[in-house]
Amino acid sequence: MFYVIANDAYSETKNAAALLESAGYPVWRCDGTADNVEIQAAIDALPVIGGWQVGHIHVAAGTYDIQTKISSSADYASILITGDGKRNTRLVWNTGVSGDYIFDFFAPALAGQDGKRRITIQAIGLLGGSTGSRIGKALKLGRTYSTEDAWYVLDNVNIQYYSDPAIYMDKVQLVEFYSCEVLVGASGVYSIKTTAIPSYINIFGGLYDAIYNDASYLKMFGGTLNHLEIVRDVNFQTLLLGVGLGDALPAGFDTVVKIGTTSAANHILIEGCQWNGPPATVGDYFLDIHAGSNIILRNNKWYNTAASGAPTVYYNIQSGVTDVTIDEPADFPFSRIADAGTRTKIGKDVIIEHNTAGDTLTVYESGSTHTNLGAGGAVTLNLPQTVHAGCWFAFVVMAAQELRIDPGAAGAIYINGAKQTDDAYITANDEAESVILTADGNGDWIASSVVGTWTVV
């Protein structure tokens, strides 16, 4: 193990470093100015074994002045860089020096050149400057050609006060984040940004302000994410499980999650997450889907959405979107969905509803059964006017009162061997009479499983 000691390190740390030196361990002592020189020297001194640059560098607690990027250019590298805690070991970009990445682990290579990289950064803080001066960035990861093999692990890393983006990934095979914090920068600044070459990104807990994902596999388990933009993913997968979304929407962003902003983003699952409303204003929507297909929203929760600043539309599904499945709990405000997509499937936990008074059904109740149990007179149920093909409802007479099903002025019902006229309702009043009506996608309804006598009026 190699050791790097800060100029402002505790006296106990400096004394321990002296003992290590006397025992023959390599130690680099920083003077508080351009400490990147000593850290770079430690990396360059790592041995090469079997063609691999390997080793462990421990950067002790303290503040380190960074004035130019720190890198490893080895094609084969297995390096572990550790600190004494993400708030104790602090690498700070000098605000008087033009900005760059603190660690640049992007390795240039010739086309077809082989190479493997395994780099882990653990328990370190990377600061791009200070509150009033965000100049530096944190990490640049990847390799020149997508065939190259680059793996990175960031474990308990704290990144703050950065310029755009804090972490840049290009042609990275795999990056894993464990309980990291990539926090507030200036308006419109991204915590993580990927390019259009597929990468695999796994995030386990932590706090992230904004992620810009262009054609990468993204999976996040737990933690908090305040803004996500999936520019496109072709057919790559995004998975958010148990994530807190939109705790505090960063400045410069108008929506918590955006999907398919330049082209289709497909095969996305958001499940068991919590959409959070104010105290911060959450913006135009919780979720805005521009283009894509096979998107599933399931069993998510909402917190503090009644407060001032919550969006009036939670899910906005635009016309370029197909095959969205919304399978949310029964208490979801389905009226806050704006749906211009194709084959949107919207369901909720309500399976049967006993109507004692008239009601207008919504597309969000597709698949439900409606009766007149408990009614003391005629009950009229109005079918929704704008529906997707395949939307269906079942109706059952359970009280000896008239149950009327009205398709509305622009709709007709196919029943009793013919298409009936527009706005003609069907009615039955004997217990156990029933019918299923399914939307044909053209404004009309098809009756099936007809039991009893349904009269057209």
Which residues of the chain, if any, have pLDDT below 50? 110-113, 279-280
Give yes or no for a contact between 404 and 436, defined as CB atoms under 8 angstroms apart.
Answer: no
Q: Are residues 100 and 140 in the same domain?
A: yes
Q: Are residues 11 and 153 in the same domain?
A: yes
Rg from Cα positions in the chain: 30
DSSP string, 315-345: EEEEEEEEEEEEE--TTS-GGGEEE-SBS-E
Q: Are residues 289 and 248 in the same domain?
A: yes
DSSP string, 372-423: -TT-SS-EEEEPPSS--TT-EEEEE--SSS-EEEE--TT--EEETTEEPPTT
Cα(319)–Cα(18) distance, integer angstroms: 67
Q: Are residues 366 and 388 in the same domain?
A: yes
Four-CA torsion 439, 411, 437, 406, nearest 10 degrees: 140
Q: Are residues 150 and 279 in the same domain?
A: no
Per-residue CA distances from 68 to 33, 139, 302, 436 (Å): 11, 12, 44, 71
CB atoms within 10 A of CB 319: 11
Q: Which amino acid, one-letter code, is at 191?
A: S
- 318, 349, 380 — which closes off a domain? 349
Is residue 269, in this structure, part of any structural domain at all? yes
Is residue 214, in this structure, part of any structural domain at all? no
Give yes or no for a contact between 67 and 58, defined as CB atoms under 8 angstroms apart.
Answer: no
Give yes or no for a contact between 398 and 431, defined as CB atoms under 8 angstroms apart.
Answer: yes
Is residue 212, in this structure, part of any structural domain at all? no
Q: Are residues 407 and 376 in the same domain?
A: yes
Is residue 409, in this structure, part of any structural domain at all? yes
What's the structural domain count of the chain?
3
Is residue 94, in this structure, part of any structural domain at all? yes
- Chain-centroid distance of CA 200 in Å reads 14
Give yes or no for a contact between 115 and 109, defined as CB atoms under 8 angstroms apart.
Answer: yes
Is residue 57, in this structure, part of any structural domain at all? yes
pLDDT of residue 364: 74
pLDDT of residue 8: 97
The DSSP 8-state label assigned to residue 451 in this structure reads E
Q: Are residues 264 and 394 in the same domain?
A: no
Is residue 193, in this structure, part of any structural domain at all? no
Is residue 98, in this structure, part of any structural domain at all? yes
- 349, 374, 389 — which closes off a domain? 349
Q: Which amino acid, one-letter code, is at 256?
A: V
Give yes or no for a contact between 258 and 229, defined as CB atoms under 8 angstroms apart.
Answer: yes
20's CB contacts (< 8 A; 6+ apart) are: 3, 27
For the purposes of burial, counting CB atoms within 10 Å of the CB of 195, is it exposed (0-12), middle (13-18) or buried (19 or more)? Answer: middle
Q: Are residues 344 and 359 in the same domain?
A: no
pLDDT of residue 279: 41
CATH number where 433 lies: 2.60.120
Cα(422)–Cα(435) distance, integer angstroms: 18
Q: Are residues 161 and 280 in the same domain?
A: no
Domain holding 108, by residue range, is 1-186
Within 13 A of 278's CA, how many CA atoms are on the CB side?
A: 10
For the purposes of burial, counting CB atoms within 10 Å of the CB of 271, is it exposed (0-12), middle (13-18) or buried (19 or more)? Answer: middle
- Chain-centroid distance of CA 248 in Å reads 14
- 349, 382, 405 — which closes off a domain? 349
Q: Are residues 68 and 149 in the same domain?
A: yes
Q: Are residues 178 and 287 in the same domain?
A: no
Q: Are residues 404 and 317 in the same domain?
A: no
